[in-house]
Amino acid sequence: MKIGSVECDNNVFLAPMAGITDAVFRILCREMGCGLVYSEMVSAKGISHNNTNTKKMLYVDPDERPCAIQLFGSDPEIMGNMAKALNEYPDIDILDINMGCPAPKIVKNGEGSALSLDPELAGRVIYSVAENSDKPVTVKIRKGFDDEHINAVQMAKTAEKNGAAAVTLHGRTREQYYSGKADWDIIAQTKAALKNIPLIGNGDIFKPEDAKKMLEYTGCDAVMIGRGAQGDPWIFKRTLHFLETGELLDEPDVSQRISMARRHLKMLVEYKGENVGVKEMRKHIGWYIKGLPHSAESRVRVNNTLGYENMDGLLLDIEKTIKENTIQC
C-alpha cells in the first residue's frame, strides 16, 4: 500500500498513542509485521521553541521505518514552518496532523479534536503543512466533536482538498473519548466520499477478526490498531496471517509474553535511562500480564518496583509462579 510516495509493507498500521508509541514500542510492532508506525503526538510549538524533551520525541530508528511523526497545533504558520523543519529529518517518512485528540488540555487550546469545530481553520492548517512538506501528509480525525457536530465526511474532504495524502478516521466523537462502540458506518460513508486518497479505519480492532470485518464492512484501505496493540505487538503478525490465510495463529503464551516484556524493559531502559525506563515500563507490563493468573496482585508488585534488575527479576518470578500454579492445577 502507498501513501503518497511512501510504500508500506501492508495495510495494518499502529495508531499514535501518547505515552505509548515511542521508538521502542514502534520497533517491536514493526518486527511483528506492522506496515506503518505512528509516533506519539508532538507539539509544533514545542519544536519551534527548541524544547529538549519535544525534540527527543522526533527520533526515528532505522529499524522502524516507514514511520510517521504526528504533529499537533492549530496555527497554520507554525505548523507549516515546523513541517519545513521536519523535512530535514531523513528518517521521518510521513507527517501526520492530529485533529482527533480528545484530551481536555489539548482541546482547550483549540488543538486536536477541537479543530473539527472549525473546518475552515483545519483546512488552512492542512494546506500549510502540505505546502511546506515534500513528505506525504496525513490527517487523523474523529467522527465529530459530539453528537451535534458529526462532520467526519466534511473534514476528510477538506483534508483531501488541501493536500493530504491519506486520512485516518476514528469512529468515535470527541465526547465519547474511548467509550461505547466505534461507528463503522461513518467510516464507510467517509471512504465513499473520498475520491483520490486512501482512508485508514480506526476503532475497536482488538483481534484479527475485527480487522477483517472492518476492511470488508467499510471498504477502508487500511486499518489502524491502537489499544488492541497494548501489551500485544503480536496482534500485527496474527492479523496479517489471518487476512492472508484465514487461519488464526495461537495467542502468545506466558513465556512469550514475559520474554517480550523483559526485552521491552531492557530496550526502554537503554533508550530512556533506568529511572524513566522502569517507571514507564510499568503500564506496559500491566498490559503484557493482563488476563494471566494473579495479574491483579502482580500489577501491585510491578507498580512498587524500582530498578532494572529488580523489575527484570520480578518478571521472571511472575512467570515462574504462573507456571508452577498451572502445573499444580
* 182-217 per-position pLDDT tens digit: 999 999 999 999 999 999 999 999 999 999 999 999
> Which three-class secondary structure state does DSSP give residue 91?
coil
109 versus 51: the higher-pLDDT residue is: 109
Domains and CATH numbers, the chain: 2-245 (3.20.20.70), 254-328 (1.10.1200.80)
162 and 119 in contact (C-beta within 8 Å)? no
Measured in Å, how far apart are the chain's first and last C-alpha atoms? 48
175 versus 50: the higher-pLDDT residue is: 175
Q: What is the mean pLDDT of residues 6-15?
A: 98
Instruction: Please identify which of the residues 8, 29, 101, 220 carries the catalytic annotation.
Output: 101
Per-residue model confidence as pLDDT tens digits over 215-224: 999 999 999 9
315 and 284 in contact (C-beta within 8 Å)? no
Per-residue model confidence as pLDDT tens digits over 227-274: 999 999 999 999 999 999 999 999 999 999 999 999 999 999 999 999
Establish whether 220 is a catalytic residue. no
Per-residue model confidence as pLDDT tens digits over 39-73: 999 999 999 988 888 889 999 999 999 999 999 99
Per-residue model confidence as pLDDT tens digits over 21-32: 999 999 999 999
Per-residue pLDDT band at 329 (split at 50, 70, 90): very low
Q: HEC profile for 3-32?
A: ECCEECCCCEEECCCCCCCCHHHHHHHHHC
Q: What is the mean pLDDT of residues 318-328?
A: 79
For residues 15 and 24, give the distance between their C-alpha atoms in angstroms, rounded to a whole number. Answer: 14
Q: Model pTM?
A: 0.95
